[in-house]
Structure 1
Amino acid sequence: MAKMATASVCIVTYNSAADIEACLHAVLHQTLQPERVVIIDNASTDGTKAIVERYAADKGLEAIICFTANTVNNGFAGGQNQAIRQTASHYVLVLNPDVTLDPAYLAETVSYMERHPETGSVTGKLVLGSDHSIMDSAGLGMRRTRQAYDLASGEPAAEWSELREVFGVSGAAAVYRTAMIRGIQIDGQFFDEDYFAYKEDVDVAWRAQKLGWKSYYVPSASALHHRGWKQGGRRSIPLFIRRHSYQNRWFTLIKNEPVSWQLLWLLPLLAFVEASKLVYIILREPGLLGSWPIIFGKLPVMLDKRKQVERKAKENRLRQTVYGNK
């Protein structure tokens, strides 16, 4: 008899007191029970730690809920890597604390991935917590300008009822195959910890594609995403976060954009887009200029990571040539 697929849930919290209990309640009421729920707190100051510890004790779940309170903020990428290393299941659900899962979320996503072994990551139908009829995300898309975006964001949820292949999955509620996690990690890291936070899921999606993995949107799995800053516009996002988002876009391009004939016609477009952004930054958001010393300083590191991915891709192609699709 085939061994039943197992899944763990990894949550990184940072001042998540308002959301974490509802998130945990939904996780622990999945029809496919998680083998382990790993929570990494990034030095919260709002009582998140006390809420998680009390919840685990009250429910008698200390053996399932594995909680670590960091004394420093390791970022989303570092925190998730820290959590993933504590799992040994076939699948890992990377989950934001402001997401409330439908009871069948894990079962539906894992079931699809079990039937399609070439699939490395899956996301379900994420709708806005403030309006359940409106989509938050159906996964990640990529524009010609190499700008990643949330597919279906702001669109009617009723129009997103069909399965589809996507560029990648949002880190808000992403189910990853453990074999893929191990296969695409660089220097022992699944999420690149140089990103700290933001666009690390885009980097993973692109890297996974280059190494032969597929990603799908599975609408039979659903969840509510109670995100706040997205509705407030850029001015509601702290400068610290905007800097990471901006520099991480460059890191992602440096590491993943293929060198091909297509790049020749793409370069003028990218140059125009980035020059326009730079003019806007100088005039409206000069604080972002502080990202450039970091981008230049990390250039050798990013180029080395690019080489490692290309080496893995070459090894994969050689393996397929020798062994075929077996």
Structure 2
Amino acid sequence: MALSDSTATEPASLSISCVTYNLHNSTFNATIESLACACAYARAQGRLAVSHLYLIDNGPDEKNYRALCAIQSAFYAHFEKITLLTGHGNLGYGSGNNLALLQTTSHYHLVLNPDVLLAENNISLALDYMNQHPQVGLLAPDAVDEFGERQYLAKRKPSLLVLLARAFSLEFMRKLMAQKLYRYEYRDIIPTQVPVEIELASGCYMFLRTSIAQQIGGFDPDFFMYFEDFNLSRRIATISRVVHHPELRIVHFGGGAFKKGIKHIKYFSGSFFKYKCKSHF
């Protein structure tokens, strides 16, 4: 595959998928409102032609579905199309996103968590950068949490010890692993003033070149929850580039698996070993 820069300026089409489960209505409303504003800004800049929002219902009951129906009704005028996908049960995060990703005909596809707020110029900047850099298959953002503290979403390939040190926050372990933790989170490079190539991107926001994502078959369905984003990043990096862009700003409200109880710890642990096996350690 030949990699070369381009200066294409035609307005692009964008699809967005949001997988939801037990929605927190106020946060998700804010997410979709910020997305709608970012799409409107990109249209005004002449960079976005069509936006298609996929709302994916992985919820356990009617409450999640009704919340999505309300979102679809409230924001239908802000996107060219809103599709609500339901009735499939809880497929997991990656397979849920695949319902949209593998059927869309858009130029670009945004995988977006229901707990992320986008800066107004986010979509416009992403489209402009991807148009000018066709060798890039996945674009990752710069993030802070709800308190304005930096989140280090870009990662290098993880080891079990590094993940345990991060998860349990034991002081002696963090001191022992300080240098490895520092490198794992790209703190030697980020924050940066210019886009930089990275190994792994977070699934809370993945701006994908649709053709590349479809070429590799989207998310690996073997992952129900956790590490599907790392696996996707690794596979995309075999045929294109994964880039962190410092001007693509988001606020991310997400928390770690080890703060969510034993069920999430089991998912996390199982997915980690699956990821390592698929990565051939």
TM-score (norm 1): 0.67
Instruction: Give the superposition deviation at 1:114.
Output: 1.4
- Contact kept? 1:43, 1:70, Cα under 8 Å: no
Residue-pair matches, total:
244
- Contact kept? 1:11, 1:83, Cα under 8 Å: no
Letter of the structure 2 residue corresponding to residue 29 of structure 1: C
Instruction: Give the superposition deviation at 1:39.
Output: 0.9
From 132, 139, 153, the counterpart of 1:115: 132
- Contact kept? 2:59, 2:90, Cα under 8 Å: yes
Where is the helix percentage greater, Structure 1 or Structure 2? 1
Deviations, residues 51-95 of structure 1 (Å, cap 9, x unaligned): 332232244448621112235211101111112134211111000
Instruction: Give the superposition deviation at 1:115.
Output: 1.2
CA distance in 2, matches of 1:152, 1:22: 29
- Contact kept? 2:9, 2:131, Cα under 8 Å: no
- Contact kept? 1:16, 1:46, Cα under 8 Å: no
Q: Which moved more, 1:200-209 or 1:1-10?
A: 1-10
In the alignment, does 2:114 pair up with 1:97? yes
Deviations, residues 123-149 of structure 1 (Å, cap 9, x unaligned): 1111101x11x2123422224669678
Letter of the structure 1 residue corresponding to residue 152 of structure 2: S
Letter of the structure 2 residue corresponding to residue 207 of structure 1: R
From 139, 142, 148, the counterpart of 2:157: 142
Cα distance change on mapping 1:70 and 1:126 into 2, 3 Å:
farther
From 3, 9, 16, the counterpart of 1:9: 16
CA distance in 2, matches of 1:146, 1:177: 33
Which residue is 1:271 aligned to?
none
Which residue is 1:239 aligned to?
262
Deviations, residues 286-315 of structure 1 (Å, cap 9, x unaligned): xxxxxxxxxxxxxxxxxxxxxxxxxxxxxx
Which residue is 2:171 aligned to?
none
Deviations, residues 224-257 of structure 1 (Å, cap 9, x unaligned): 0012x33xx72x3232222222122222222223
Q: Which moved more, 1:107-116 or 1:42-51?
A: 42-51
From 252, 258, 267, the counterpart of 2:275: 252
CA distance in 2, matches of 1:73, 1:112: 34
Deviations, residues 180-232 of structure 1 (Å, cap 9, x unaligned): 112222xxxx11111111000111111222x23111111111010012x33xx
Instruction: Give the superposition deviation at 1:160.
Output: 4.1
Q: Which runs of 5+ in 2 are unaligned?
A: 1-7, 44-49, 164-180
From 36, 46, 51, the counterpart of 2:67: 51
Matches within 5 A, 1:265-284: none
Which residue is 1:127 aligned to?
144
Which residue is 1:193 aligned to?
221
CA distance in 1, matches of 2:36, 2:202: 21
Letter of the structure 1 residue corresponding to residue 209 of structure 2: R
Which residue is 2:215 aligned to?
183
Cα distance change on mapping 1:247 and 1:218 into 2, 3 Å:
same
Does 1 or 2 have the higher relative contact order (CA < 8 Å, sep 6+)?
2
- Contact kept? 1:13, 1:44, Cα under 8 Å: no
TM-score (norm 2): 0.77
- Contact kept? 2:197, 2:242, Cα under 8 Å: yes
From 166, 170, 177, the counterpart of 2:198: 166
Compute the RMSD of aligned alpha carbons. 2.7
Cα distance change on mapping 1:176 and 1:249 into 2, 3 Å:
same
- Contact kept? 2:118, 2:250, Cα under 8 Å: yes
- Contact kept? 1:128, 1:224, Cα under 8 Å: yes
Q: Which runs of 5+ in 1 are unaligned?
A: 259-326
**Secondary structure, aligned partner of 1:26:** helix
**Secondary structure, aligned partner of 1:12:** strand
CA distance in 2, matches of 1:98, 1:126: 12
From 187, 199, 206, the counterpart of 2:234: 206
Deviations, residues 268-293 of structure 1 (Å, cap 9, x unaligned): xxxxxxxxxxxxxxxxxxxxxxxxxx
- Contact kept? 1:137, 1:170, Cα under 8 Å: no
- Contact kept? 1:7, 1:35, Cα under 8 Å: yes
CA distance in 2, matches of 1:203, 1:219: 23
Task: State which structure, 1 or 2, has the greater radius of gyration over its C-alpha atoms.
Answer: 1
- Percent identity, aligned pairs only? 21
Letter of the structure 2 residue corresponding to residue 226 of structure 1: F
In the alignment, does 2:64 pair up with 1:32? no
